[in-house]
Structure 1
Amino acid sequence: MLFAMTTTTFELGGDLHVRRIGLGTMRFADEPANRRGASAPVWAAPTDRADLTRLLREATDAGVNLFDTADAYALGEGERLLGEALAGVSDVVLATKVGVVRPDPATWVPLGHPDYLRQQVELSLRRLGRDVIDLVYLHRIDPAYPLAEQVGALTDAVHAGKVRHLGLSEATAEQVDAARSVAPIAAVQNLYNLTDRSHDAVVEHTRDSGTAFVPFFPLSFDHAAVPSLGEVAAEHGMTPNQVALAWLLHRGPHLLPIPGTTSIRHLKENLAALDTELSADQLARLNADHAPAIGS
């Protein structure tokens, strides 16, 4: 289903007030020329640390207050950059992910051993410079360990006052329910955009329970695959990326896209989608470009 864009904010976990467009920082690594494309290594500390620090501070000035990272991004350097750049900045929500190991620049392997997850929460706390992490996702569900044990390990951190809320990444609706039998789940972060709607069922499921759905790679798709995208953008005098984000915001009041960018100009363009109301006709045309279509 598609909805009118009724609000620009969301209460994450019921107590964290966030704007509905955040900032994904996965590509805040390596050298600038080595960040684009699916093969970007996300392996080493960024070579332009001062520029990225400035951008993160400017993002808060522009109104962004939800920032997303992971312990696997640049082997923890992503968390360190975010923690140091936003040290002392109030009213920001930091989300990280644990449960993936990086034996080399090309490999991402789920690891859900409960003791490993507990250790990674401790390391994330140190790198982020926080006493409490606002939101910790299980980065990937490891089939080698029961889901209840993986979620249980993160729940221990909640009970110890080290983590405020828990989330899952790349999870099905059934896995969300299974995790929820162990602990409250505040957010689900899955790949989702105008052309990849394989998680439609999770979008609906999380909306019904008031759980945040956080689309990652919301703009990583071939715009030519959505012919009406350029048409609707022209009608609004906007960029196609702004319309793609507006479509996600209309998809449900619980959607919190986290587009990544290292350009303050692009970041401000992304935020402008919060003020864009798409008409029923425009939503129908955008929706019709994808099969099977989502109900309107």
Structure 2
Amino acid sequence: MSNALALPVNLSAGTFDAYLNAISQIPQLTSEQERELALRYRDMGDLEAARQLVLSNLRFVAHVARGYSGYGLPMADIMQEGNVGLMKAVKRFDPDMGVRLVSFAVHWIKAEIHEYVIKNWRIVKVATTKAQRKLFFNLRKSKPNLDWLSKNDAEAIAENLDVDISTVYEMEKRLDGRDMAFDLTNDDSAEDNNSAPVNYLEQQGADPALVLENADWKDHKEELLISAMAELDERSQDILTSRWLADEKATLHELAERYNVSAERIRQLEKNAMKKLKAAVVLEA
């Protein structure tokens, strides 16, 4: 659906004001007009009807997006994500539910904006679970009016959001933390150089000797496996290849029909073949 939608103005930094002015000129739909368009899209797949539903509600997206202006992210990008949420809402909207599109769409609009904010507000993600995301946005709204949370504040938030109080304190610390550049620039003082992560973070596995050794060891194990496979009888080779190496893996019953034996017999042959491979690799390694 999104490919068929042509917004009145490209939503970019240079044309942001023009975009806001353009969407404010788009007429709003009456409930009857909205229902008719929604039925046309749902029942007939009319993309022009979907386009009109989206365009007529872009000003609502702008209204919701303004509530996220305090995160230091480009408002044009936030609004664009909200537009994506609106398109998803139009795709799922059922006009027989008896509600207006904006009432249904607000969840989808906020969900897309929340996802964008969480991914881009910090280099290191501050929230990964659903509970942490809900807590993140609630604390962001209240923190400008608060210093460090008191015990009563933290307990009230934890009870209201149904999370553990330790989760509240952990999220508060993440919110008050600041991103640090991995390598300080020439403008940073010499005193700050010691605190730059580049000076104390260790990159595991970066030793060239270890990298080469690991690569050689992997190649060696592959050679052992190939040699051990060649020592198996043809039926065992075919069973292992069909069960583990083929693009479309065969089932036990399919192999049982191929060799005119029971599925249990195929399972036993597979198990024995795997034991032989493992023993050969371990013994030679």
Same fold (TM over 0.5): no
Highest Rg: 1 or 2? 2
Higher relative CO (CA 8 A, sep ≥ 6), structure 1 or 2?
A: 1
State TM-score, norm by structure 1: 0.21
**TM-score, normalised via structure 2 length:** 0.21
More helix by share: 2
